[in-house]
Structure 1
Amino acid sequence: MLGNTKKKIVSILFIAFVLVLSACTSGKSTPTAQETPATSESVKESGKFPKATTNTAAAITGGTMNYGLISDTPFEGILNPVFYNGSPDADVLQFFYPSLFAIDENFDVKDGGAANISFSNDNKTVNVKIDDKLNWSDGNPVTAEDYAFAFEVIGNKDYDGVRYDTSFMNIVGMEDYHAGKAKTISGIKVVNDKEVQIDFKEADPSVKSGLWSYPLEKKVFGDIPVADMSSSDPVRKNPIGYGPFKIKAMVTGESVQFEANKDYFHGAPKLDGVNLKVVNPNVLIESLKKGDIDLASFPNSLYDGKNVPTNVEFLGRQELSYDYIGFKLGKFDKAKGESVMNPDAKMANKELRQAMGYALNNEQVGTQLYHGLRTPATSLIIPAFAQYHDDSIKGYNYDPEKAKQLLDQAGYVDKDGDGLREDPKGNKLTINYSAMSGDTISEARAQFYLQNWKDVGLNVQLLDGRLQEFNSFYDRIEKDDPDIDVYGAAWGTGSDISPAGLYGSKASFNYSRFVSEESDKLLAEGVSPKAFDMTYRKDIYNQWQQLMIDQAPVIPTLYRYEVQAVNKRIKNYDITYGGSYDVLSAIELTSETPVK
C-alpha cells in the first residue's frame, strides 16, 4: 500500500478490569453467566456516539488545545512519513505533516486536499497536481521535485524504512532503479513545478485510495545520504511539514508544542496552537476531569457508559484496524527483498496454528475488557471496507474441543501425563509468546490467552517472562528474533483495501514471513486491471480472506471501535470518514480554559 501507511497500534488496557480476567486465568477460562456482564450499554452504545461535536456556543479567537497522546510508551520521534514505524509518531505527524490527499466516504482520493489526482483512460498513468499555495513550514514551496524525491528515497537500495513494496515496484522503472541499474525512475516525470506524472506497469485500482501521499523536501534532505536520513536532524530534531501547525518546541518522546501555521494553504487554523503530551492511560480519566486534556483517543477498556467524565463529549467511529495473533514462520531476506519460510519452524504446522486460534475466547475479551467496543474478528479485511469484507467467513470462533481435536490429529499429544502436549516427535513443547505492554490489563489479556492455550494442553509462555515495550516489541518482530514463536499485535489498515502491503511475500510488513504462491497470485489479481470491476475484485478478496483463514499464518482476533474524548469547550471537530480535509484546522474553542 502506497498512501495510508500501516500503523502499529499498542493495545491499551485498563487496571480496573485486571481482576475480571485474572479470575479466569486461575483455572478453566470458559466464561460463566456471573463472569460475563450485560452488553446493552456496550455494543448498542457504540452506534450512539456522534461523529462530530455538538457544541454550538460562540467561539473565542485563537486559544491553545491540549492533546493527549495516550500511551505508556514514549513516542519514538521518527517524525517523517517516509521513515516512521509506529502509531505514537503518527499521532504527532497528523498535526504538521498530513497526507496530500482528501478522501471520500469509500476511502478513494477526491479533490479538495493539498493535491488532486487524475487518471489516464487506461488507468496506467496518474497525474498529481500540488496546490499552488502549498508551502513547507520553512517557507519553501512544496514542489513536484519534492514529491518525486520521496519515491526516489523509498526506492533507493540504501533506504532503511519499510515502505518499499510491490505497489512501488509496479511503477515503471522502479525495480531497475532499486537494483542500481538506473539512476532515475523512468516512470516518474516532473511535468512542472507543481505537477508529477506517474506511469505504472499495470493499472492498479488501489492507486485510487493508496497512492503514496507525502512529499519529502529535497532542499533539506537532498545532501543527506539515504542510509542516514532516518536518523538525521530533519527527522529527529527539527522536522518540517506543511500542515495546519508547525513544531515550536519538542521534548522527544514526551511532548510537542505546536503553533499555528499562518501560511497554511487553506488559511490559518482557528487555534493559536496545540500542546501535545504523552499521557499514561492509567491517569487519563483524572486528566480529563481536571481539564488537563482537551482531546484524546479513549481506550475501549475505560468506557463503561457510566463512570466516565461528564465534562467531555464522546465521538466514535469504526476503527480502521484489527488485533491479531501472528506466527513466526521464517525470515525476511533483505538482499532478495522477500520473505523466506522455514519448513522446520516451530509454528510451521498449520493444524497447530489453527488450534491456537480456536482456543482463544475473544468474545469474552471483547465483552469484559472492552465493553463490547471490540468484537471477535473473523477476517483480515475489516468490516469498515463493507464492499469487500466477507461476513460469511466465521473465522476462529472459540471452540476448545475443536482445538484439542486438531492437536490430536496433528500428533501433539500429552505423552508423559503432565497435562501438557509434546510435539509430534515426543519432545517437550514450549511456545514463546511476545505481547506488547499498555498497562496492567495488557498483562491480564496476555495471561488470559496463555490460559486459553493451556486449557487445550499447550505450554505457551510469555517471552522473557514479561510484556515487551512498544518499540522493543516491533524491533524484535522486524528483525525476526528467533526467540519469538507467536506474537500479539495490531494493524491500522489505512484507507487502501489491498492487503498486499501486509501479507505479500515481498512486503517487509509481512511479519509472519508467510509465503504462498496462491496468496501472492490473489493479491496481484486484487490490484490488476480486471479489479477495476468491483464484482471481480470482491470475489478475489473473498478467496484471499478464506485462504488466509485456512492457512492461518496470522489469526485476526478483535475488530475495534474508536472512541475519542473531547472537552466540551471544543467546537467544529468532525471525525466522519470522507469529511473535510481540514479537520484539525477547523477546530475552535468556546472558552479560554477547559470545561471541568
Structure 2
Amino acid sequence: MKKTHIAILFLFSSILILSACDQSTDEVSNVSVEHDYIDGFNQAIISDEPALDGGEITFGIVSDSPFQGVLNYNFYVNNRDRDIIDWFDEPLLALDANDTYTQDGAANYDVDHDDQSITLTIRDDVNWHDGNPVTAEDWAYAYEVIGHPDYEGPRYGADMRMIEGMEAYHSGESEEISGITIHDEKSLTIQYERLTPSLLANGIWPYALPKHVFEAYEVSEMASSEEVRQSPIGMGPFKVERVVPGESVLLTKNEDYWRGEPNLDQVTIKVIGTQVATEHLRSGEVDILNQFPTDQYVENQDLENITFLGDIDFTYTYIGFKLGEWDDESGQNVMHEDAKMGDVKLRRAMWYAVDHDQLGEELFDGLRWNATTLVPPTHPDYHDESIETPTYDPEQAEDLLDEAGYVDVTGDGFREDPDGEPLEINFASVAGGDTALPMAQYYVQSWQDIGLNVELAGGQLMDNNVLFDRLENDDPDIDVYVSAWAVGTDVNPEPLYGRYAPFNYSRYTSERQDELLEKGLSEEAFDMEYRQEVYSEWQAYMAEQVPVFPMHYRMQIVPVHDRVSNYAVHFNEDTGIHRYQLGVTEETD
C-alpha cells in the first residue's frame, strides 16, 4: 500500500453495487452500506442537461492547514498537494474499477514474463503543457531522479529497488540504471530482478518528469524549485496559471489535452476550513469539496442544490508509537532498544483502553467505525475480518500494565515504568474541525483512566504539516501520535511499514516482518490464495506487535452542486468519466 490518492473502488462484502435509477441525474452506481445513517450513495453524477461550452467551477479542499505546495507527483508528501496535482497532471497508465492498469491511458504496457521485463509505449499525441512531447526519456528520468542518491522524497521503495541496476545507481556505484532501456522517443523497457504481484497490480511508477525542465536543477533542489512550487507543469486537462502559496491555485483549460478539449474554461482550487465548509456550499462559493466533514453530514444532508456522492474511504486513521528513528546513512528505519514505548504490553494496553465504536458514533454519527487490521476493507480479498484484535476492555488494559511492571509506586494515581521511574507520555494530535479536540481529549482521558500519565505534546493540538515534519524528523518530544494513511490500490504494505519505508513513522522493524513482506512479493504470491495467507499472517503479526493500531475505517462523502455535470468520486475507465468531461449546466449568479 502506498501513500497516494489512487482510486480504490473495491468494496467490502456488505456493500452491494446496484444499477442506476432514472432520476434527475444519471447515477453511474449506487452503494448500499449496512451501516447506521447510510442507505446509499451514488459514486458519480451525470446531468441530464448538456454541459455548457465553457464555464468555471470552484473546487474546495477541506483543511484547517494550508497545502504545502509540493506540486509534482515525484516529490509531494501531503495528500492535499495530491488533490491539486490530479487536476493538471495524470499518470500515463489508466486504471479500471479494480485499480489495475488498462491499455486505455496515455500509454500502454506489455509484460514479458520470461524476460522479467515491462515495455511501456506513450501515445504520439501526449504533450506537456509547454507543447513539448512527453517522451520515454521523461519517463525514465522520473526513475533516475527517484533513485538518485540525493533524492529526498518518499517514492524510493521496494518496487523501485526491484529494477535491475537500481540499487547500484542509488548507492552511487553506477551512474546509470542498467535495467532501463530507451528504444525511441516514445518507448522504453524496464528490466526487473523479478516481476512481482505488486508490480503487475499497480507497481509501475506511472508518472513522467519533464527532463527539459528539471535537468537545470540538482536533484536535491527540485522539490523546492519554481517548476514545482510556483509554476508546476503537467500533461493533464488543465494548466496552472497562478499559485497563491498554501491558499489557492487557478487553472485554465489545456486545449491540447490528448483525450480532447476540456469543457470548462477555468477551475479555481482553494483551501476551505472545516468549520466553514457547509457555509461555502450553501452560499455557492464552492461547487465541489474533496470531502465533506463526516461530523457535519447528518445535519446537512438535505442541503439545497447539493448532491452528496460517497464511497468507502481508502484512508484509515491510526495511533502510532515512536520506537526508533530514520537512519539517513543506511536508508532504513532503526529501532531503539530503550524506546519509551518499546514494551508491547504497554502499547497493547493503550489499544484496549479506547472504545472506537463509541467514538465513531458520538463524534462522526457512525460514518466512522472501529478498525481492526492494517489492511482496510477497501481490499476485500485481503482484509481478514477473522483476526481478533483488542476491543474496548479497560480491565484487560490494567492487567497488562500490571503484568509488565507498570505500577503506581508513588501513590499519585499514575504508573511508573518497570524501573520505578516516572513515565510521562507525550501524545501528538492534529488540529481541525469541531471533533479534533474532543477526540484528542478522549484518548488522553482514556489512557489516564488506566493510570498512564499522558498529556498533549506541547499542551495543544498541532497543525497537520507541523506534525508530519516532526514525525519525519523523529522529534523526541513525541511518543504517541494520531495520523491517517490513504492506502494505495495494491495491498502490499511495505511502502508504509517496511524497513526501508520513510513513511514508517513508528520506525518498527523486525526480521519476521521482513520475511512476511518479502513473501508477499515472491513468485509464489502470484497465487492469490498464497498471497492472501501471507497478508493475513502479516495483519495478525502487526496486531500482536502493535507498532501502530488502527482507529477507524470511514466513509468519503463528496458534495457536488447540482449545476455540475460529469463528476465522480473516482475518475477511471469503468465509470467512463474523466476530468476533462467535467462541466456545468448553468453559470453562477
For this structure pair, what is the TM-score category when the shorter chain's length is used for normalisation? over 0.9
Distance 1:391 1:87 in 2: 28
Unaligned runs of 5+ residues in structure 1 are: 9-39
Which of 222, 234, 238 does residue 231 from structure 2 map onto?
238
Which of 521, 529, 537 does residue 543 from structure 1 map onto?
537
Alpha carbons 2:36, 2:367 under 8 Å: kept: no
Matched length: 561
Which of 116, 125, 149 does residue 124 from structure 1 map onto?
116
Task: After superposition, give the CA deviation of every residue in 1:127-160 in whole Å (9 maximum; x if it has no partner).
Answer: 1111211110011011000000001001000011
Residue 319 of structure 2 aligns to a residue in which SS? strand
Scaled by the length of structure 1, the TM-score of the pair is: 0.91
Residue 53 of structure 1 aligns to a residue in which SS? strand
Alpha carbons 1:377, 1:395 under 8 Å: kept: no
Counterpart code for 2:62: I
Unaligned runs of 5+ residues in structure 2 are: 7-31
Alpha carbons 1:107, 1:577 under 8 Å: kept: no
> 1:6 and 2:1 equivalent?
no
Distance 1:563 1:80, change over 3 A: same
Distance 2:210 2:448 in 1: 53
Q: What pairs with 1:185-204 in structure 2 (closer than 5 Å)?
A: 185-204=177-196
Distance 2:257 2:146 in 1: 27
> 1:73 and 2:71 equivalent?
no
Counterpart for residue 20 of structure 1: none
Residue 242 of structure 2 aligns to a residue in which SS? strand
Counterpart for residue 388 of structure 1: 382
Bigger Cα displacement from structure 2, 337-346 vs 299-308:
299-308
Alpha carbons 1:122, 1:203 under 8 Å: kept: no
Residue 230 of structure 1 aligns to a residue in which SS? helix
Distance 1:395 1:450 in 2: 21
Task: After superposition, give the CA deviation of every residue in 1:539-565 in whole Å (9 maximum; x if it has no partner).
Answer: 000000000000000101111210000
Which of 206, 213, 224 does residue 220 from structure 1 map onto?
213
Counterpart code for 2:354: L
Counterpart for residue 340 of structure 2: 346
Distance 2:33 2:503 in 1: 37
Task: After superposition, give the CA deviation of every residue in 1:400-438 in whole Å (9 maximum; x if it has no partner).
Answer: 111111111101111222221111111111100111111
Residue 470 of structure 2 aligns to a residue in which SS? helix
Which of 532, 539, 563 does residue 557 from structure 2 map onto?
563
Distance 1:565 1:123 in 2: 47
Distance 1:359 1:447, change over 3 A: same
Counterpart for residue 182 of structure 1: 174
Task: After superposition, give the CA deviation of every residue in 1:276-323 in whole Å (9 maximum; x if it has no partner).
Answer: 111111111111011111000111111116565222000001111110
Distance 1:140 1:332 in 2: 39
Superposed displacement of residue 54, structure 1: 5.3
Alpha carbons 1:7, 1:492 under 8 Å: kept: yes
Alpha carbons 1:333, 1:339 under 8 Å: kept: yes
> 1:401 and 2:395 equivalent?
yes
Residue 367 of structure 1 aligns to a residue in which SS? helix
Distance 1:273 1:580, change over 3 A: farther
Which of 89, 93, 100 does residue 97 from structure 1 map onto?
89
Distance 1:580 1:110 in 2: 13
Give the number of the structure with larger relative contact order, counting CA–CA contacts within 8 Å between residues 6 or more apart. 1
Alpha carbons 1:430, 1:459 under 8 Å: kept: yes
Counterpart code for 2:120: V
Residue 94 of structure 1 aligns to a residue in which SS? helix
Counterpart for residue 498 of structure 2: 504
Superposed displacement of residue 344, structure 1: 0.2
Counterpart code for 2:553: Y
Superposed displacement of residue 223, structure 1: 2.1
Q: What pairs with 1:321-470 in structure 2 (closer than 5 Å)?
A: 321-470=315-464
- Identity among equivalent positions (%) equals 44
Moved over 4 A (4+): 305-308
Distance 2:332 2:560 in 1: 43
Query: RMSD between aligned alpha carbons?
Result: 1.8
Bigger Cα displacement from structure 2, 55-64 vs 275-284:
55-64
Distance 1:236 1:426 in 2: 51
Bigger Cα displacement from structure 2, 468-477 vs 580-589:
580-589
> 1:593 and 2:585 equivalent?
no
Residue 568 of structure 2 aligns to a residue in which SS? coil
Superposed displacement of residue 115, structure 1: 1.7
Counterpart code for 1:49: F
Counterpart for residue 111 of structure 1: 103
Distance 1:96 1:133 in 2: 17
Distance 1:546 1:402, change over 3 A: same
Superposed displacement of residue 210, structure 1: 2.4
Alpha carbons 1:72, 1:279 under 8 Å: kept: yes
Distance 2:265 2:142 in 1: 30
Distance 1:264 1:292 in 2: 28
Distance 1:41 1:302, change over 3 A: farther
Which of 513, 516, 519 does residue 522 from structure 1 map onto?
516
Distance 1:5 1:354, change over 3 A: closer
Task: After superposition, give the CA deviation of every residue in 1:213-251 in whole Å (9 maximum; x if it has no partner).
Answer: 111000000121111111111111111000010111121
Counterpart code for 1:105: A
Counterpart code for 1:238: S
Residue 101 of structure 1 aligns to a residue in which SS? coil
